[in-house]
Chains A and B, each alone.
Chain A
Amino acid sequence: MKKQKYIRVFLVDYGMVFVLMALCILISVLTISDMHPEDPAAARSLARSLVKEVGSDINVLVVARKTSADEAYATALQDELEAGGAHVVAVELGTPATLRTRLEVLGQQDERVDFVATHDFSSKWRVLSSESRQEMASLYPALSKLKIAKPPSYRWPTFLTANNLIGILNQNAPIAIMAIGMTLVIITAGIDLSVGSLMALAAVVTAKSLESYLGGEDASGLSVVFAFLIAMGVCALAGVFAGVIVTAFKVPPFVVTLGLMMVARGMSYILAGGADAVKIEAESIGTLYSSSVLGIPSQIVLMVVLFIVAHIVMNHTAFGRYVYAVGGNETAARLSGVPVVAVLIAVYAICGLAAGLAGVLDASHFGTGRPKAGEFYELQVIAAVVVGGTSLMGGEGKIFGTFIGALILGVIQNGLNMAGVDSYSQMVIYGALILVAVLIDQLKKKVVKPASS
């Protein structure tokens, strides 16, 4: 009985994790395909197995394309082959044409070649096809035993590669960061429709303040940071404004933020002077977006840190308790001494600040201030929060749930892209999946809380 209860509670709190896992498994299965390794590690293991299987008394021609990645591959191959005692006749970095020339030269010099060591891509060049090799063998006895060696291919989901997963996180980081602020707002039974527009406003304010006041082309890194702070400050102030209108005049948050959404979007275009993008000349503008920590893009690190901080604030501080209390029962909260007005203003300010941060990241990403940045993002952000299990009625919701919600949406989008679904159909499927996710959540709650007496 008790054990069942724990399982139920676990399902309610973390059921969306299973949905995310199921989605990942599904998309993985759908995207399984042949993987052809082209990294130095694969080169080394190819060299080792070649020496091990046919002995060290072999002459090998190393073949790859003329790119820096292939150069590293070829070098690794050559080093490992020579370390194993095999003889590397030559390293050919180039095209099928240069390879043909090289083989002809080797044939004419009667330089015996036993293996061409390469990777899957180059092994498919026509010059290395069996017909072409037979032809060459008939012309040059030195090439009569020519065989191809390449690392073994294996089947693996393209979805489930480090590059792709990091890409999903990186792409969705701005939405996920805004979803943190939105979670707080929705827990207080409010809503903030202005986040997408505030994101654009932040990007344009960053660009404009750099251009007009902070030195334009010559702006230092510090000036860029300063511009970021100004942009985020403007958005936080917009949030304070929304919070004041909501609390002082009891205007529904939906209406207040709808107005703010239009005002902010319009102001972004006015500031940009009607341009599609305001170019940022400062050199260090891209640093924030392109830098990384331990190989992970800084944007992702920032997002994860913010989620951890938000989780702690919501679960372990008085402010977090107050946010839940205001959403659960505003009157009871006020009569219990909760500073309801201050809490609500703070919550909208945080939401604005998060939108400002997303806008700053956008400016750093594109190197421009785009007044059309973040269009319809407010809906994606709300969707992430709702899919994450936060109730629009207020009073309940979890930061961790929002993280999962944002990931679910990101994974779905990525999966649809990989499956080659066109963007209109994507919209339909995306919307339907949101409905299903929320429906599952509701059904689950019904199972857990059966009609009481």
Chain B
Amino acid sequence: MAEDSSLDNLDGPNRPQPLLEMSNVSKSFPGVRALADVSLTLYPGEVLALLGENGAGKSTLIKTLGGVHTPDAGTISIEGQPIQIDSPTASQQAGVGIIYQEFNLIPGLTARENIFLGQEASAFSWIGKRQEHEQAEELFSRIGVPVNPDALCRYLTVAQQQVVEIAKALALKARIVVMDEPSAALTPREVEGLYQIVDELRRQGIGIIYISHRLDEIDRLADRIMVLRDGQDIGTRDAKSLTRDKVIELMVGRSLDNEFPDETRPVGEVRLEVTNLSRGKAVQDVSFKVHGGEILGVAGLVGAGRTETVRLLFGADRPDSGAVFLDGEQLQIRTPRQAIAKGICLLTEDRKGQGLILGQTVQENFGLPNLRDFVSGGLIRKSTETAAFDRYIEQLQIKVTGGGQVAETLSGGNQQKVVLAKWLQRNAEVIIFDEPTRGIDVGAKYEIYLLMNELARQGKAIIMISSELPEVLGMSDRILVMHEGKVAGCLVNDEVSQEDVMKLATGTKDAVSV
């Protein structure tokens, strides 16, 4: 699978000494066995893909290596030397650099200051700025991405911030680099850059543990693949020996015939029509239609104005101009509250930041837009609310202990289902999914797809924004492609290839009429 590996034929005696060996690591939390007898071996100059559904124990394993968690049992050795990692500092000193999904950069400091933060000899030591500057530039050139060391991190793109994180790890002389979902927030072009960075690090003999949900990336990068499922070690295999289907099967513990459900539906009348919607530079003169029973995929690069467009539909922002019609009636929407009242609902891309109130229970989240259904005499009847939510627990197969579970403790897929439940109760007619499966594991993804199809079959109009082209092609009836705030084209999804969409999304092909 991996195209460029210097370790292709290093089996048996030719294998160099492992860089990292974690043997029989176990870790339990109250009520949960997070890791059971997990063993991991990492060689220098290889990319080890660590796969598993959400909750499989990937993060726990990485945090054990990072000194955030102390394992209950098991040993860790680096270059053959057993080592105790009992704090993040110990982990850094052992040569482990971990780039977590949430970056640990201080927005008000420059790239250079972030890289060397914590490496001062003492709190009062003199900081040699020029020397640091040179070192930072050298690190960036080693990674192969030039970043201005004097730029405040606040102003860097996500991809640049990631480069700073990697530089920070390298500055600490890390020989083991762990990347947790590094591509989650990157545009396709930036992901390509990330591949090159990983290749470059691999060439320099650094061992890389790469965690991702995206099988494309695993295809492209991994030398070996390690799979965890429910805290169990499912084993490590050569990437070449595995097919995609086999990988998915290992992860979910059952075979999935297809990533996307097959479905043909009758398409009905036009339900939602958007004409000449504009807001600043982000959204310019956008027009499209969605029919009942149809899933309209919206593709485009990050920054193409997709999310901005649907926010206008939903009243989260106000358009400068343009009109929205639902079933032929023009809507005057100024707030999300009004949009919801008209039956337009949005499942935001930032589920945790905008979709849910994480500290509250799932039932409270569910009830929030629906309280009028449960209020009588001015008071909320909790029993009616519970009864309504319980129906959705069953219908959507939400895995919760009950309505009282705090939203924060749910997996991504189940959080998405809770958000969906609250809109279904509102009887939404237009449902907008913005990156519906981001950060959701393979099994749950499939369930979300089935639900989208089911909703379309009920005659609802579905809009799905997605940055994953296979998803757009696999799910949509038509595909609206945006580029720099404008509609680049609208394709009927038969025999459309990824390349067709990418050409429109990158602006290499002129707009195509519907």
Contacts and interface: CB of A to CB of B under 8 A. Distances in A.
B507 to A, nearest CB: 31
B403 to A, nearest CB: 14
Contacts of A312: 379
B31 A321 contact: no
- Taking residues whose C-beta sits less than 8 angstroms from the other chain, chain B's interface range is 35 or more
B387 interface: no
B103 to A, nearest CB: 20
A400 interface: no
B367 interface: yes
A331 B353 contact: yes
B115 interface: no
Contact of B348 (A316, A318, A335, A450): A335
A339 B31 CA distance: 39
B59 A453 contact: yes
A316 B354 contact: no
Contacts of A317: 375, 378-380
Contacts of B244: none
Given A316-B379, A317-B379, A336 B360 contact: no
A333 interface: yes
B14 to A, nearest CB: 38
A322 B364 CA distance: 10
A325 B368 contact: yes
Interface in B305-322: 314, 316
A1 B31 contact: yes
A331 B367 CA distance: 16
A336 B375 CA distance: 17
Interface in B44-80: 57, 59-60, 69
B336 A453 contact: no
Contact of B357 (A1, A318, A328): A328
Given A1-B31, A328-B359, A395-B359, A334 B368 contact: no
B359 A336 contact: no
Contacts, number: 88
- Taking residues whose C-beta sits less than 8 angstroms from the other chain, chain A's interface range is 20 to 34
Contacts of B378: 317
A396 interface: yes
Interface in A117-132: none
B274 interface: no
A339 B359 CA distance: 20
Given A317-B380, A331-B354, A452-B29, A324 B360 contact: yes
Interface string A323-358: 011001101111111110000000000000000000
Most chain B beta-carbon neighbours within 10 Å: one of A312, A451, A453: A453
A406 to B, nearest CB: 25
Contacts of B337: 337-339
B364 A321 contact: yes
A335 B354 contact: yes
Most chain B beta-carbon neighbours within 10 Å: one of A1, A316, A335: A335
A452 B357 contact: no
B346 interface: yes
Given A321-B368, A335-B314, A396-B359, A450 B354 contact: no
A395 B369 CA distance: 17
Interface string B339-367: 01100001010000111111110001101
B121 interface: no
A285 B348 CA distance: 57
Interface string A365-396: 00000000000000000000000000000011
A324 B380 CA distance: 15
Interface in A26-51: none
Contacts of B32: 453
Given A321-B367, A337-B369, A450 B357 contact: no
A337 B340 contact: yes
Given A324-B364, A328-B357, A332-B356, 5 more contacts: A317-B375, A317-B380, A318-B375, A325-B368, A337-B368
Give me the 3 closest cross-chain CB pairs, A-B, nearest first: A328-B357, A318-B371, A337-B340
Interface of B: 29-32, 34, 57, 59-60, 69, 314, 316, 335-337, 340-341, 346, 348, 353-360, 364-365, 367-369, 371-372, 375, 378-380, 382, 409, 422
15 contacts: A1-B31, A321-B364, A321-B371, A321-B380, A329-B357, A331-B353, A332-B353, A332-B356, A334-B336, A338-B337, A339-B335, A339-B337, A395-B357, A453-B57, A453-B60
